A = this chain, B = another copy of it.
């Protein structure tokens, strides 16, 4: 069991709390991981991925919470990766869980900040009894990231939920990361606040993926059609939460439907999703589309837990990893290879060179900018110069050949 090895090694290497989640919220996809965590004696947190659909109700989330608790979850996480959790449902879900399973049920609320509303959702979740909320230090916060820690501290001052965090120490952490963040500017999102997500249900990252897919096909002007197609495809698939990988799977299929005709071409991943190979969603999948998937993928739909169909692969992985240059014989290396086969190959071979800093210091970035502006300095002209040659002056016009 690859997953059990991963959990075991993570625990040995210092992981204390395991937030176990599944993109489709299929409890069967979480059961083995949760059992593996409990076997290590570490904290097993069962996770609810939050999304919005006609089928996703407060009652449904409360029921799922119960399934996770039955599975042995020591605490629950309400995970809102797309910043869709509004204050009122935040309050109602937390209250519902506490009232159904007892006030001592520990709940961790995890909201991203993308839509700008989730700090308020954290406030209402806290008022409803949430025990833990996730934030990021202000210099690493906001946009598609988390809400700022210092702001949460200020938010709770004077309420019965004062944090007692030491602001002086938080500000030192902030200043440290304010210096780190610019190194990773290349990976920053331009989005500060995006409330389109509420109407389209399409997270920002998914939208930009779809736009670039369309542009590659010379169909950049059809983005609106695709945005209207996404909720229909999502409904056909039984309303999966749109989070990696389901967001990419649904998004790509919507693009194909618009460009080629409805389900004329189906991606292998979407066929798998329709046939149950990623697990069960909250909604029924559309029978006609299941039939198209079956015909195109030449596979039957399944109702069992998908991972039950995967043969044990640990021994094979040990053997394959063992053949790589620089493999150090540890289970950790086998796991690295299992998760990232091509990255691991390069990493093992170059490991003796020591760690690499993928970020640039401010100085390196300045040097790089200067170098690129040097090459930009080649004249695109024409520019007139006065040129001395052999003691004689010439008027010379120069332009790029």
Contact with B along A150-163 (1 / 0, CB 8 A): 11011111110000
Asked if B374 and A380 sit within 8 Å, CB to CB, the answer is: yes
Q: Kindly state whether residue A371 has any CB partner on chain B within 8 Å.
A: no
Q: Kindly state whether residue A397 has any CB partner on chain B within 8 Å.
A: yes
Chain B positions within 8 Å of A376 at CB level: 373, 376-377
A104 to B93, CA, bound (A): 33
Of all chain B residues, which has the CB nearest A373?
A: B376
Chain B positions within 8 Å of A157 at CB level: 86, 88
Contact with B along A360-401 (1 / 0, CB 8 A): 000000000000011011111101111111100011111111
A372 to chain B, nearest CB (A): 12
Chain B positions within 8 Å of A380 at CB level: 374, 377
Q: Kindly state whether residue A246 has any CB partner on chain B within 8 Å.
A: no
Chain B positions within 8 Å of A194 at CB level: 138
A195 to chain B, nearest CB (A): 4
Identify A193's interface contact among B138, B387, B390, CB under 8 A.
B138
A381 to B375, CA, bound (A): 10
A227 to chain B, nearest CB (A): 12
Given contacts A389-B396, A400-B385, contact A138 B116 (CB under 8 A): yes
Q: Kindly state whether residue A339 has any CB partner on chain B within 8 Å.
A: no
Asked if A148 and B193 sit within 8 Å, CB to CB, the answer is: yes
Asked if B401 and A386 sit within 8 Å, CB to CB, the answer is: yes
Chain B positions within 8 Å of A53 at CB level: none
Identify A396's interface contact among B117, B196, B387, CB under 8 A.
B387
A374 to B382, CA, bound (A): 10
- Considering the complex, which residues of chain A in the window 74-95 have a beta carbon less than 8 Å from any beta carbon of chain B? 86-89
A204 to B321, CA, bound (A): 55
Identify A399's interface contact among B159, B385, B390, CB under 8 A.
B385
Q: Kindly state whether residue A120 has any CB partner on chain B within 8 Å.
A: yes
A260 to chain B, nearest CB (A): 29
- Considering the complex, which residues of chain A in the window 125-155 have a beta carbon less than 8 Å from any beta carbon of chain B? 138, 141-142, 147-148, 150-151, 153-155
Q: List 14 A-B contacts (CB under 8 A).
A: A86-B158, A88-B157, A116-B142, A116-B151, A119-B120, A123-B123, A142-B192, A171-B196, A171-B199, A377-B377, A377-B378, A378-B379, A387-B396, A389-B394
Contacts A87-B155, A116-B119, A390-B394 supplied; 12 other A-B pairs, CB < 8 Å: A88-B157, A115-B151, A116-B147, A123-B124, A138-B195, A150-B195, A151-B193, A377-B378, A385-B400, A386-B399, A389-B394, A396-B398
